[in-house]
Amino acid sequence: MLELPLSQDQIDESNAAHADPLADDYDSLGRQLARRGIDINAIKSRVGAFSVAIPSWGAGRGGTRFAKFPIPGEPTNIHEKLADCAVVNQLSRATPGVSPHFPWDKVGDYAALREEAASLGLGFDAVNSNTFQDQPDQPVSYRDGSLASTDAAARAQAVAHNIECIEIGRQLGSTALTVWVGDGTNFPGQQDLGRSLDRYLGAAAEVYAALPDDWSILLEHKMYEPAFYSSVISDWGSSILAAQELGPKAKCLVDLGHHAPNVNIEQIVARLHRFGKLGGFHFNDSKYGDDDLDSGSINPHQLFLVFNELIEAELNPRDGFNPAYMIDQSHNVTDPIESMISSAEAIGAAYAKALLVDRDELHAAQESNDVMMAFQALRRAYRTDVTPILAKARAEAGGAIDAIAAYRTSGWRERKAQERRAVGLGAGIV
């Protein structure tokens, strides 16, 4: 039985105030799209079926390199995180999956946790391992690396932890394990760059061997940090080579912030799909580096171009097309619930705009080398305001037309600030 966190009557009351203006905007946009041969209701159906997972850790405040500033009512355990994630999904109707992180989200009874999530209208997406931090009572430190460590005991410990995450995920109903390691070096000569990759591949192969038949392992690359001279899996090239060596269940995960500045991420999407290794995305935005800013807040056009390539991949599935989509952000100065609602809408808007591209026109222009008309085919879709489509899809699914306004009216944060234990100040990582 569903036990949703917010009153549906309150959401319906909020929607009533916006219903007539939305109907007017939706009808107007429908007429515009009809002149381009596009059925707005068909686009709305696609948008309504689209979803992106949210991270359990995203329900809390992140931290800068210098400090963390908690927000009142911040969740302190996986149960409170699930409640906040349920608020995001109830209002947006686009985030039914939660991606947990271990050992942060460990509990004693995972069957009960799965039932708890289901009662909130949620399921579990990919599980995430953590070998980039030492935990209390951990036998061996990851100071010098984990899966790529020169210390065999550290590698064995990292392998065992990842296998434990697979078993937890199996109980939660997940079918994917995301692996990101902070392994690398800070000084030239610190490690042999070839042998460190060999150690990573050897340890990852042990994790791969433990995967159930219907599972995937998603290899996440990152250019730098915490290692600033070299990272073992630093880019999509290293990631795809590792995935190809491990086997067909190994895929590449693209975090939009894990690249050098100005890298053509949409081309990476096309390349990974071409070789059957496009595993999924961590959506965020960045200005200077791995900033983990809200999706679409800095470069919404790039987000649209990424989705344009994803639609192309969906239309040409080759060996299959089923990427995992997840928001991965650090909400340092906003209410995390509001940021995840906003990001889910930005991601959905990029998807909707990509659906509006006239593929016949685009492909004809590409084949005839008509550069301007190819660009205009994309630009025409990008500059279309798809807000009414997203709002209509949310409302028809029981969500809020103006999700952030409805959230603020609900008083959820204020109530949780009274009920939940306060989170202590954080010292940052410097």
Q: CB–CB of 282/326 below 8 Å?
A: yes
- Share above pLDDT 70 across residues of the chain, in percent, rounded to a whole number: 99
Residue 429: predicted pLDDT:
47
- Share above pLDDT 90 across residues of the chain, in percent, rounded to a whole number: 93
Residue 430: predicted pLDDT:
39
pLDDT mean across residues, the chain = 96
Find the angle CA(174)-CA(180)-CA(182) to the nearest 5 degrees.
Answer: 155
Q: 237-240: long-range contacts at Cβ-Cβ below 8 A with a sequence spacing of 24 or more?
A: 238/197, 239/277, 240/271, 240/272, 240/275, 240/277
- 426 pLDDT exceeds 70? no
Question: By C-alpha distance, which of 215, 234, 216 is closest to 225?
Answer: 234
- Distance CA(195)–CA(148), nearest Å, equals 9
Widest CA span in the chain: 66
Strands (E), 20-124: 54-55, 97-99, 123-124
Mind listing the pLDDT tens digit for each residue in 179-208?
999 999 999 999 999 999 999 999 999 999
- 98 pLDDT exceeds 70? yes
DSSP string, 285-328: B-SSSS--BPTTSS-HHHHHHHHHHHHHHHHS-TT----EEEE-
Residue matched to tokens 């994630």: 85
- 428 pLDDT exceeds 70? no
Residue 315: predicted pLDDT:
96
Residue 68: predicted pLDDT:
82
For the record, the structure tokens of 16 come out as 């009533």
- 118 pLDDT exceeds 70? yes
Mind listing the pLDDT tens digit for each residue in 336-360?
999 999 999 999 999 999 999 999 9
- 233 pLDDT exceeds 80? yes
Mean pLDDT score, 73-77: 95
Positive or negative: CA dihedral 142, 70, 346, 326: positive
Mean pLDDT score, 155-180: 98
Torsion angle defined by CA atoms of residues 332, 299, 285 and 89, in that order, rounded to the nearest 10 degrees:
80
Give the bridge partners for 230, in sequence order: 185
- 380 pLDDT exceeds 60? yes
- 158 pLDDT exceeds 90? yes
pTM of the predicted model as reported, rounded to 2 decimal places: 0.97
Mind listing the pLDDT tens digit for each residue in 272-303?
999 999 999 999 999 999 999 999 999 999 99
- Distance CA(399)–CA(397), nearest Å, equals 6
Residue 208: predicted pLDDT:
98
For the record, the structure tokens of 68 come out as 């963390």
In the structure, what pLDDT confidence band is assigned to residue 427 with cuts at 50, 70 and 90?
A: low
- 24 pLDDT exceeds 70? yes
